[in-house]
Amino acid sequence: MNQKLESIQALRGLAVILVVFVHIFAFEPKAGVGTPVLPSIFVFGISGVDLFFALSGFIMVHTTRNSPPSWRSLLHFLERRAARIYPLYWIYTSVILVTAVLLPQAIQRPELEQISVMKSLLLVPQAHQPILAVGWTLIFEMYFYLVFAFMLLAPRRFLPHLLCLWLAAVIASSASGNNPFVNVLTSPLTAEFILGCAAGLAANNYKRSGGAAALVGLLNLAAGVFLQYFTAGPVEPSGWLRVLLFGIPSVLLVYGMGSRDYAGAPKLLPRFLSSVGDCSYSIYLSHFLIISALARAGAWISAKLPSTAFGPVDNWCYLTAALLLSLSFGAASWHLLERPLLAVFRRH
């Protein structure tokens, strides 16, 4: 990005923390500690994925706002996206593969042998999640980027029309079945990226402080979480219901905060979240490995101790360590791996 959008980066930080929390919640019972202390509503940290998709659409519009319509722009966009996504993803996927060979008992995924290594590495849809499980969202991201790239062949003024056509096609063809490609192409989650693009266009064109939109989006996201929780319990919504409860509020939040960046309005979110946002991709790829390793360590330690040795203290130790190590390791990965890799690929 030529112009750094601090509030957008802060939302990236918020999104990745939400995802980290949902996995900390998922692994807490497996850590061998006492009765879980995190309430089941933490399962809705999965809404961080919807926020990521809306952010992705916004950022794609922002980064290509000065791109002339041409095949060169299309190829340049795809090159930069590939350099951004693949190298670090390959590293963490390789960690899983090496662990599966050297310590197969450490990988508790019975379906691992049925997963195509090549499809996982290339982020191609398949029947199972990729080897690095969180990569399922990156499959969607690569699909978004590929379709958006071809829109760069048209003059910028046609982008809203093309986005509307894409959204209409998704709405008309929404279906699910046994074909992984069809499931991705027709997924309602695509609407979150498209609407994020629309938010980017609106924020860039009008450049008004969108504090009210951000507040409405945040309140509606919270309302969506509580509505789902009290009507269906701690069950992740799916399909268009998920878009309604999590996606549209995320788009409003992204539009509001992004428009504040364009308007030069004072920042509403703490600088810490922006720093986390800078490292968000590294955190996203690595946190699952950190949390699962800590859960195994906690289970091993608790097996050596009486069940009443520490009460809820051991739970809080696990939760604190999981959060801090996930963020710290991700920050180290950003500085030592991600940034150098990006520099190398962008030079060549």
For 211-253, write each residue's pLDDT tens digit.
Answer: 889 999 999 999 999 999 999 999 999 999 999 999 999 999 9
Domain assignment present for residue 173? The answer is yes
pLDDT value of residue 33: 62
Q: Give yes or no for residue 205 having a pLDDT over 90.
A: no
What span, in angstroms and rounded, lies between the C-alpha atoms of 266 and 65? Answer: 23
Strand, helix or coil for residue 222: helix
Mean predicted lDDT score pLDDT of the chain: 90
What span, in angstroms and rounded, lies between the C-alpha atoms of 86 and 15? Answer: 20
Domain assignment present for residue 188? The answer is yes
pTM of the predicted model as reported, rounded to 2 decimal places: 0.94
- Over residues 127-137, mean pLDDT: 94
What span, in angstroms and rounded, lies between the C-alpha atoms of 278 and 340? Answer: 14
pLDDT band at 175 (very low <50, low <70, confident <90, very high): low
Domain assignment present for residue 242? The answer is yes
- Over residues 290-302, mean pLDDT: 84
Domain assignment present for residue 312? The answer is yes
pLDDT value of residue 301: 76
Q: Give yes or no for residue 261 having a pLDDT over 60.
A: yes
Count of residues in the chain = 348
pLDDT value of residue 185: 92
Could you give the count of Cα atoms lying within 13 Å of 204 in the half-sphere of its Cβ? 21
Please tell me the least confidently modeled range out of 64-73, 90-99, 174-183: 174-183
Q: Give yes or no for residue 159 having a pLDDT over 80.
A: yes
Domain assignment present for residue 1? The answer is no
- Over residues 251-265, mean pLDDT: 93
Q: Could you give the residue ranges of the DSSP H alpha helices within 271-338? A: 271-278, 280-303, 313-333
CB 299 within 8 A of CB 21: no
List of residues 6+ apart from 68 with CB closer than 8 A? none
Domain assignment present for residue 151? The answer is yes
Q: Give yes or no for residue 177 having a pLDDT over 80.
A: no
- Over residues 325-338, mean pLDDT: 97
* 100-101-102-108 Cα dihedral, nearest 10 degrees: 20
Measured between its terminal Cα atoms, the distance across the chain in Å is: 19
pLDDT value of residue 186: 92
- Over residues 183-201, mean pLDDT: 96
What span, in angstroms and rounded, lies between the C-alpha atoms of 103 and 18? Answer: 30
pLDDT value of residue 87: 95
DSSP class of residue 334? I
pLDDT value of residue 72: 96
Encoding tokens for residue 236?
A: 């992740």
Calculate the alpha carbon distances from 223 to 13, 21, 192, 240 in Å.
Answer: 21, 19, 18, 16
pLDDT value of residue 226: 95
Calculate the alpha carbon distances from 151 to 1, 68, 71, 294 in Å.
Answer: 19, 11, 10, 44
- What is the residue range of 32's domain? 6-347
CB atoms within 10 A of CB 306: 7
Comparison of pLDDT for 37 and 153, the residue scoring more:
153
Q: Give yes or no for residue 153 having a pLDDT over 70.
A: yes
pLDDT value of residue 29: 83
Q: Give yes or no for residue 78 having a pLDDT over 80.
A: yes
pLDDT value of residue 106: 72
**CA-CA-CA-CA torsion sign (162, 167, 172, 177):** positive
Domain assignment present for residue 271? The answer is yes
pLDDT value of residue 134: 95
pLDDT value of residue 94: 95
Q: Could you give the residue ranges of the DSSP H alpha helices within 155-263? A: 159-173, 180-185, 190-206, 211-232, 239-242, 248-263
> Residues 44, 7, 269, CA angle at the centre, nearest 5°?
70
Q: Percent of the chain at pLDDT above 90?
A: 72
**CA-CA-CA-CA torsion sign (230, 11, 273, 337):** positive
CB 312 within 8 A of CB 45: no
What span, in angstroms and rounded, lies between the C-alpha atoms of 314 and 325? Answer: 16
Looking at the 3D structure of the chain, how many domains does it have? 1
pLDDT value of residue 310: 55
pLDDT value of residue 3: 64
Q: Give yes or no for residue 45 having a pLDDT over 50.
A: yes
> Residues 117, 338, 98, CA angle at the centre, nearest 5°?
35
Q: Percent of the chain at pLDDT above 70?
A: 94
pLDDT band at 1 (very low <50, low <70, confident <90, very high): very low
